[in-house]
Amino acid sequence: MPEARAEPDCIASAREFGQKAATILLVEDETFVRDVACEILSSEGYRVLQARNAAEAVKTFRAQPEAVQLILADVVLPDRNGCDMAFELTPGTGTRVIFISGYPVNRVTRNGLQQSGWFYLAKPFSAVLLLQKVKEVLSNV
């Protein structure tokens, strides 16, 4: 009979390696998804700025563009397409983008994914997949 483990396997956080945690702008209109993603990312030591729509994201990003290393954005937002928002915000900043969507990769997303530093994560995603993708993208800066 296998021995029970006291703690589940976990992914090492930036704090464990003494790295400065990255700042992530999380743009998601679904409250539950936004709250859960924020909790997952925060628990790993990331600083998370939240926005419910593109307008809030633009305002938040422009207030401190040098602070944001990664934008994690839903493709379908109530006020604007997430890809269009990213095209507006990221030129010349070096900010990486991960698009999240419950829809298959479509023409709009595919055009965005041709941009250097832009990636895709399908919904639903697990905490492990979210953290793996974030770490992968941030490690390629």
- Which CATH number goes with the domain that contains 37? 3.40.50.2300
Segment 64-67 long-range contacts (CB within 8 Å, at least 24 positions apart)? 65/89, 65/93, 65/95, 66/93, 67/23
Asked whether residue 10 is assigned to any structural domain, the reply reads no
pTM: 0.81
Number of domains comprising the chain: 1
Asked whether residue 131 is assigned to any structural domain, the reply reads yes
Residue 111 parent element (H or E):
helix 107-113
pLDDT: which is higher, 13 or 103: 103
Asked whether residue 4 is assigned to any structural domain, the reply reads no
Most distant pair of Cα atoms in the chain: their distance: 57
Confidence of residue 117 (pLDDT cuts 50, 70, 90): confident
Above 90 in pLDDT, residue 16?
A: no
Q: What is the pLDDT of residues 38-89, one digit of tens each?
A: 999 999 999 999 999 999 999 999 999 999 999 999 999 999 999 899 999 9
Asked whether residue 13 is assigned to any structural domain, the reply reads no
CB atoms within 10 A of CB 102: 13
Asked whether residue 104 is assigned to any structural domain, the reply reads yes
Instruction: Measure the CA–CA gap between 62 and 51, rounded to whole angstroms.
Output: 13
Residue 42 parent element (H or E):
helix 31-43
Q: What is the DSSP letter of 18?
A: T
